[in-house]
Structure 1
């Protein structure tokens, strides 16, 4: 099996050079629509071409058919629909809904707009936020009418209704978040995905071409961007041409550490729960789409990333700071009030730390008090030294000196930090970050303790990215705009590939309803527009360098197969799609002789090929430095991470 290489990078460069869209030094160049770049294996035509089958893409396709499209083709590079909806339980938000009225909750769209602007640090685009809010209610009600109303919802304790507060984000002024659960939990993580996907399946005039990667946009001789070049899994080239418009719904760049590192000081060190590279942004830049450089730095994180792979992670926290624990950086120093109620304050504080990493420091007494108060669910799930899914991350020592050595932070600094903190707990000094030590229990404080005892613990957590907020500029009708603010005829965008809408932080439920709602607007606009002629298509002046989208040879960094391995059976557990994945690796005669997936909870029908084929490939190659299975990237990565853990165990014997 060949080693992993940058996906289609050679093809991308070849097509770019032949099409004349950009020059080798990335200076803008006019596209030459009349000179075909290549002969295609196949050409397809539809009223609307949608690139990406996530929430935005599915919604756009539905809206296009509702507005008269005879046929719609969705191009999807993976083997499944949903995009990031496969990675979230799918909280939704909308104002003035029937569910709020049933619960007796008074809400206004104007209030929703103001909350979004406030939560985004007043850096969002008010016109776009208003466009979202005004369309969002109708979109949400449409989903209720098409099956969502029958799903199970989390209920609000105060009203008993389906409109709730969502504490994982900054709270809205009223309950306007909805947490429905998917009925078919085996195939769907979110109810929103389930409703859209099931409805799409009823539309005979919508076709989804899976395992097909859109790589380039093309303009016709009228200056209208109506064609997409794509490459299939088996290397065939297809040209898709739209009669009405192309909707780009290609997602964000939260899996592109190079691009995040370009715009955030420690962005290259973040963990990510996605593999989204953001290639669609460069595709649109090549035909003139403006990208707001400032918005590209708006990369919200969770200050609770549990590392599950080289740079992959999942949401998880010890929450030991609720019972007296502290968080320190790589310098052994505290950097924030750990009990700060504003989540964004803690998010930014961690983002600014070296390596975007913190160590939760705690003791047995702190864990005991956390458990007694009922706040240890996530600790038990991930970090319990006996059963936790991420128990390998737990470091313990009899002294702070020993603990500092284990986590590689300066011992004197860590001891001084603990001493200063303990004095504040005793009331001998004010806490340097304003932390209160009132013994009255609250949502963020369950007990008061000093860092003292017979044993000390540390667990590393990193800034975790689940979505990005930068992307191309659009107007309220989702037209893609160029650097001068002009509409690029035929080109529309929705979802995470658009930028500057929400501001610096995302509001609860907009990560799901934003793409779905703007996708609806895009599909409708594409069908009702009159396209201008005579537009000059050329690349933007700040075209992203192609190297930012080249994937690293992930295999090389996974494990040094020249190491000596001790014979035996080794088991490792990693976080999976809907639960833990456990893999047993057998070493015989110093080589990998068997790989068995003992337990897994991956999505059936999606991860099947990785589950069936990858273990054999690892054994055949006697290496974890092998290609992931196309269309099963996340599941492949989990298998490889688990086997790598086993190899580390075998090499340490």
Structure 2
């Protein structure tokens, strides 16, 4: 592991703020001293906390939560105490993916402080009546609230502006303001899957309340956490765990094949990482692709495949032989329009997934799984159209993709391409008798005589849930990109992987399904291989959101120089190069690239206002704003523009469309983040889970990123969505057809 400059800078800022906070709280040398122990309810049970004070200043915090989830809640147990000591109070951010445990620690610390300082019953003189505004940083920019108070209480909290993620943020935007008013406290559980938004609302409200003369100790004393309800027990023929693309398609297909279905999701909304992604979907459709003009470099790539010897690729020799015949036929005819075939799709997926680990072992994709995905991907996309989804946009080559075969859903005002199709699947389920249980986290599989017969789960309020599956359980819980402990434990690919890497994933992508399956003897594969997304935010981990087409990418390092062919094959190649230049790099754009981008101008303007994009009328002004040498940047763009016009790039980029010379100019700071985990549960082409001996575990299926084997050591851009919908449908159909 290695550390980067960005966290050091952020830590310096945090320390300064912490010192200021500590200074405020330590003005009185007569504060209480001693150890104070309290507890609060976490995810698995009570979390016990001991706070040590010296003259009223927090000098130590210890936390214990033996029932909290290893690698998730345990991260909060390990990290939050030090953060609280540094801040001098419990008003710190929780640990992503461990909301309930984080809140339990913070609540217990506040109770201990109240006990020590005698403020639990402290008199409250009242607010200064009126309406106040407060602002805090959300996921994608500032979040603003208006808080109205009377003398005795907070009367209303309204979020008046925000840039939060559509759908994912809605439960937090609705629930947190209501709970603040109902319980007269700012110590609340964040909404599962919307932690950052929840905390932003609370922080903005605190800002406003302090303006009104609010007493934080008084509000802390009203700390609220919902109580667990009576145990829930239900049964269905098929139980699906996870409501991302894989889970929704599995549940719908099971329902279409006559099974009763219960779908559970630990977040408060559907979508998971499918919603987070740009939803690029690779598939082969010669009828449509045959009308797309051949792209630069494609002919040369095809010619290079003719030089390969099938005997050197024994696992896909039959595929390569067929492919070479197709290529010869194509090259002998009119090459004006693009070539593609299922065989090319299979071969590229296989060779691009082949990687060698740090231990010297080589990993390759499971050919049966690859063939299944590639041959059925277009059928799955046509199936999506049956839910009244608009025709996907034109083909493109996604970052880390080898060919021009990815299509994305139509743009919408939310910026979330996959939202309409996910909502359509959810609507189908609800209209046809399926049950969906949100904020319900699966913890264990129920087994009987070696077969899986159900799922144990828990609601976010602690209510236990038992679900019996008369036919099968389908695991679609996603990968483990937000579980850093699991990533570093298994890493077998990345040298000196920075220990502070963020993730593009939902913060609840913690490998739950993998852990549950492994407990009952399921075989895992490829766990050491994690993909980084090179174009992620250095602050939040958020992806580039396809701001512009990948062929227009211009990557420059902090010195203003390009450092990689931006269309190089493999996201790991791009990420390794990006990490080598430091803690960040910039994507440079001009107005014509923006005009050719995927959103209207107002969308980009909002990103400028939120600080995600830097905009300047001239290149010199832009260089100054981002602290890059102007002459170096100008030379870089002059060379790039010349390469666009000549078609010859010194770094080997072949697909270039626009020059970068029309102001205004834009820069977007980027840094690699954990994006996709190739490893997971071993399945066969029927989506059945295999045990460590290679035998089928009866009654258990899996699909999507929770599985391994398809992508081996590197996932091609656009293949994840193909994977989840192909194998989600296979799992749903086969689970519904299972005889028990």
Judge same fold: TM > 0.5, yes or no: yes
Separation in 2, partners of 1:316, 1:101: 25
Alignment of 1:100-249 (within 5 A): 107-121=340-354, 123-148=364-389, 151-155=390-394, 164-172=395-403, 175-181=404-410, 189-204=418-433, 206-220=434-448, 222-249=449-476
Equivalent residues of 2:246, 2:703 under 8 A apart: yes
Q: 1:602 — aligned with what?
A: none
493-502 or 100-109, which moves further after superposition?
100-109
Choose the corresponding residue for 1:358, options 578, 584, 599: 584
Separation in 2, partners of 1:187, 1:323: 21
2-11 or 51-60, which moves further after superposition?
2-11
Alignment of 1:146-545 (within 5 A): 146-148=387-389, 151-155=390-394, 164-172=395-403, 175-181=404-410, 189-204=418-433, 206-220=434-448, 222-262=449-489, 263=491, 264=494, 265-266=497-498, 268-275=500-507, 276-292=509-525, 294-301=526-533, 303-309=534-540, 314-315=544-545, 326-328=556-558, 336-337=563-564, 339=566, 341-342=568-569, 344=571, 346-350=573-577, 352-353=579-580, 357-360=583-586, 370-371=590-591, 387-390=608-611, 436=650, 443=656, 446=659, 460-529=669-738
Separation in 1, partners of 2:701, 2:553: 49
Q: 1:88 — aligned with what?
A: 277
Separation in 2, partners of 1:376, 1:108: 28
Secondary structure of 2:673's counterpart equals strand
Equivalent residues of 1:78, 1:211 under 8 A apart: yes
Secondary structure of 1:56's counterpart equals helix
Secondary structure of 1:336's counterpart equals coil
93-102 or 259-268, which moves further after superposition?
93-102
Secondary structure of 1:515's counterpart equals helix
Higher helix share: 2
Cα shift readout 1:107-140 (whole Å, capped 9, x = no counterpart): 5322321232233247322111112223333322
> Is the aligned partner of 1:77 residue 2:77?
no
Separation in 1, partners of 2:512, 2:697: 19
Alignment of 1:6-21 (within 5 A): 7-8=43-44, 14=67
Equivalent residues of 2:565, 2:651 under 8 A apart: no
Q: CA deviation at 1:153?
A: 3.5
Q: CA deviation at 1:503?
A: 2.8
Q: CA deviation at 1:147?
A: 1.7
Equivalent residues of 2:555, 2:563 under 8 A apart: no
The structure-2 alpha-carbon separation of the partners of 1:226 and 1:46, relative to structure 1 and needing over 3 Å to count, comes to same
The structure-2 alpha-carbon separation of the partners of 1:386 and 1:483, relative to structure 1 and needing over 3 Å to count, comes to closer
Secondary structure of 1:201's counterpart equals helix
Separation in 2, partners of 1:139, 1:361: 34
Q: CA deviation at 1:313?
A: 5.6
The structure-2 alpha-carbon separation of the partners of 1:16 and 1:272, relative to structure 1 and needing over 3 Å to count, comes to closer
Q: CA deviation at 1:91?
A: 2.2
Equivalent residues of 1:169, 1:343 under 8 A apart: yes
Secondary structure of 1:165's counterpart equals coil
Equivalent residues of 1:339, 1:445 under 8 A apart: no
Q: 2:251 — aligned with what?
A: 61
Secondary structure of 1:299's counterpart equals strand
Separation in 2, partners of 1:313, 1:259: 22
Q: CA deviation at 1:304?
A: 1.7
Cα shift readout 1:481-509 (whole Å, capped 9, x = no counterpart): 22222222211110110112123332343
Larger-Rg structure: 2
Separation in 1, partners of 2:575, 2:607: 33
Q: CA deviation at 1:74?
A: 0.7
Equivalent residues of 2:555, 2:564 under 8 A apart: no
Q: CA deviation at 1:49?
A: 0.7
Secondary structure of 2:458's counterpart equals strand
Separation in 2, partners of 1:323, 1:179: 18
Q: CA RMSD in A?
A: 5.0
Separation in 2, partners of 1:286, 1:154: 42
Secondary structure of 1:269's counterpart equals coil
Separation in 2, partners of 1:107, 1:319: 21
Separation in 1, partners of 2:594, 2:268: 41
Equivalent residues of 2:530, 2:676 under 8 A apart: no
Q: CA deviation at 1:319?
A: 11
Separation in 2, partners of 1:110, 1:241: 42
The structure-2 alpha-carbon separation of the partners of 1:66 and 1:98, relative to structure 1 and needing over 3 Å to count, comes to farther
Separation in 2, partners of 1:188, 1:167: 14
Q: CA deviation at 1:230?
A: 0.8
Q: Unpaired runs of 5+ in structure 2?
A: 1-37, 48-64, 71-228, 293-336, 356-363, 641-647
Cα shift readout 1:154-207 (whole Å, capped 9, x = no counterpart): 23xxxxxxxx233434242xx533322267959974443244223223312x11
The structure-2 alpha-carbon separation of the partners of 1:358 and 1:15, relative to structure 1 and needing over 3 Å to count, comes to closer
Alignment of 1:580-591 (within 5 A): none
Q: CA deviation at 1:63?
A: 2.0
The structure-2 alpha-carbon separation of the partners of 1:97 and 1:295, relative to structure 1 and needing over 3 Å to count, comes to farther
Cα shift readout 1:193-238 (whole Å, capped 9, x = no counterpart): 244223223312x111111111111212x12121211111322101
Equivalent residues of 1:295, 1:503 under 8 A apart: no
Q: CA deviation at 1:3?
A: 11
Equivalent residues of 2:442, 2:457 under 8 A apart: yes
Cα shift readout 1:263-297 (whole Å, capped 9, x = no counterpart): 242364134242112222111111112222x4432
Number of residue-to-residue matches in the alignment? 459
Separation in 1, partners of 2:607, 2:263: 47
Separation in 1, partners of 2:697, 2:230: 25
TM-score by length of 2: 0.52
Equivalent residues of 1:271, 1:462 under 8 A apart: no
Separation in 2, partners of 1:340, 1:125: 26
